[in-house]
Structure 1
């Protein structure tokens, strides 16, 4: 299992003491607030208790964050995730996207685990962004299946357009040779936002949209999906 959490923390924070006690006031401008506001309509669609954002609210970007955080953290989409954890996730996301050193170091940490014996790479959430870019930089790896869960790879301006290598003609770099099978498993109520990444990566990508009401970042429902098992088994027995 690749670990890169320490690379996405601000200096002075220690993993052992848990998440910093963030509030909505700590949400920064730019990537943090824009990803939060991208989640809001999906949360309202999944959970009727969450009021949808109004156009006038979204215009006041940072002010909208004050309204969005308490609604999203208590929504079914995020499975009751604490407000401080939700804000902490936004900050980790921004640090990875904007900091060249954390990005490179995280890809290196994951890439070291993909050896000549690796046949299947499973990826979740932001980890799918890191692992896909690690695979794309390793043209001679032997992996035969890449299975991603709850992935934000398809979100255009926040994620996809910022990938390295940079997408060309709206097409992302396939992270391997033609032998690799890609399986993207999304849940109708997860935080992936853009469920279908096949338009971004081409016909070798298979999409499976499940309906298992998985809480945010929970893996069990994804790992017990039939197509997930088939993709993993196929990669283990290929070549």
Structure 2
């Protein structure tokens, strides 16, 4: 089995493990070189745990790509709350995004339309179609409420992790899938978990819905550690990454999490931008040593 396993994020339902590896492998190799780990690059053995197809609608006549979704398809509750959190986060780091106000958030239809309009004009979501953004919201929501899909996605990660696997690198929603998969396999041999652009620490929306459930009261939640005492967990985040709303995972997962901030420029949430950074390369090298 592969020594390094990658776990992709949201919005990859039209790709596959081979197409994603063509993006991740060279970016990861660049990160290793930036970290001075030239010797590790030729030996890099990587697999992609792909679960995106679980979200892809079955083919039908005249259906291409994502469903035609709009503001009216954003459901009250989880989807609306997550969308508004993305809006708040984007407004904090992008001067071009008007901050949400109390008046804007009062009426559900207006708030959803305003949030989508603001985000589509932001640096972070530049180039993303409205229907794709709504589809991404629904992917996160569906993973958390569809028990069968959740189990199958975790199963894809567990299938990719073998006795030789030492590093798991997980992006975006993939960090949630990877975390839960590692928790579901006590005694695994993974030495390094590297999460990039992770939403794991978002209270209520993500953190409190994890499996296994975090322990403690609302104000003092402590989530389960996803391995043994020898596991090193490095969480890497860009300040402008609106998906990784909780930048520091230590309050929820413990002081053992190594939290590092990087600068990805206008590609704040892009997986390859994270992978090419030297800090990501060093975290992976440590797990392979």
Q: Give the TM-score category using the shorter length.
A: over 0.9
Output the CA distance in 1 between the equivalents of 2:53 and 2:203.
Answer: 27
- 1:93 match: secondary structure: helix
Whether contact under 8 Å (1:188, 1:213) holds in the other structure is no
Output the CA distance in 2 between the equivalents of 1:30 and 1:216.
Answer: 26
Per the alignment, residue 259 of structure 2 pairs with 207
- 1:182 match: secondary structure: strand
Whether contact under 8 Å (2:197, 2:236) holds in the other structure is yes
Cα deviation for residue 188 of structure 1 reads 1.0
Per the alignment, residue 108 of structure 2 pairs with 61
Q: How many residues align?
A: 236
TM-score between both structures, scaled by the size of structure 1: 0.93
- 1:77 match: secondary structure: coil
Cα deviation for residue 196 of structure 1 reads 0.5
Q: 1:172 aligns with which of 219, 223, 232?
A: 223
Cα deviation for residue 19 of structure 1 reads 1.8
1:186 matched to 2:245? The reply is: no
Cα deviation for residue 38 of structure 1 reads 0.8
Whether contact under 8 Å (1:24, 1:65) holds in the other structure is yes
Output the CA distance in 2 between the equivalents of 1:97 and 1:10.
Answer: 18
Cα deviation for residue 55 of structure 1 reads 0.8
Per the alignment, residue 37 of structure 2 pairs with none
CA RMSD of aligned residues (A): 1.7
The 5 Å alignment of 1:120-199 reads 120-169=167-216, 170-191=221-242, 192-199=244-251
Whether contact under 8 Å (1:33, 1:62) holds in the other structure is no
Alpha carbons of structure 1 residues 13 and 54: separation in structure 2 relative to 1, 3 Å = farther
1:77 matched to 2:124? The reply is: yes
Write out per-residue CA displacement over residues 43-70 of structure 1, whole angstroms, 9 at most, x where no aligned residue: 1112111111111211223320011112
Write out per-residue CA displacement over residues 88-116 of structure 1, whole angstroms, 9 at most, x where no aligned residue: 10011111111111111111111111111
Deviates more, 1:181-190 or 1:66-75: 66-75
Output the CA distance in 2 between the equivalents of 1:127 and 1:222.
Answer: 14
Q: 1:38 aligns with which of 60, 70, 85?
A: 85
TM-score between both structures, scaled by the size of structure 2: 0.78
Unaligned runs of 5+ in 2: 1-47
Alpha carbons of structure 1 residues 208 and 214: separation in structure 2 relative to 1, 3 Å = farther
The 5 Å alignment of 1:15-26 reads 17-26=64-73
Output the CA distance in 2 between the equivalents of 1:9 and 1:171.
Answer: 34
Per the alignment, residue 140 of structure 2 pairs with 93
Unaligned runs of 5+ in 1: none
Alpha carbons of structure 1 residues 211 and 85: separation in structure 2 relative to 1, 3 Å = same
Write out per-residue CA displacement over residues 110-146 of structure 1, whole angstroms, 9 at most, x where no aligned residue: 1111111100000000000000000011112111000
